[in-house]
Structure 1
């Protein structure tokens, strides 16, 4: 014979007492705490995004390779153009890779624009440890 209680609605499951532990009572919701945590998370992520943009995403320093020539077993000449703020300077990282893609040279070069100019075209000789296949500019940043 099964027990029925007047407090249990019809169709609700009846669990044997003491078998499944006690039922949880509905907990108090804390929407204010969740909202504060969400605002704090957005603030932290915004600060991280601004910092990364300042470090890596400055559009004032843009470089493009014009050509790479003079390839020998020990060097490559890289002609490149850098856009900097008017009259400013930049530090650019150049590298050379061999046919397999292995890096055979890496060097930092400082490029300065004449007063009133924003674009600087320059040539740099990279000394390599093996025969290079390509010369490239990885990035430029403020000097």
Structure 2
């Protein structure tokens, strides 16, 4: 999970990661969290060659907001999904109209207006779309 921790003796974790004699991170737990900025500033002054972050800064570094172009990528994927959904509905309705050519002809022969036939097909399309959306959400 996010910021998962594993506690092992230092020598053992160095052997497991093939980093004998090396250290990648040290976490400091404060008794008073209100002093975080003060302690971070002191550590930065003392350990100038190292990167030192508070927990909030560290979490912000690994958040999805810091991944370049991620939001645009997600929007493109959503747009493609919506486009494919519209195409599926369009093709199914087109097929339904082709299969019902005879029924539509009978309706017109009985005096149904083109608007009435269109209304029937649109209601069926909306009903199928709503059912598909509900099934997709569940």
**What TM-score results when the alignment is normalised by the length of structure 2?**
0.29
Structure with higher Rg: it is 1
Higher helix share: 2
Which structure has more relative contact order (CA 8 Å, sep 6+)? It is: 1
**What TM-score results when the alignment is normalised by the length of structure 1?**
0.28
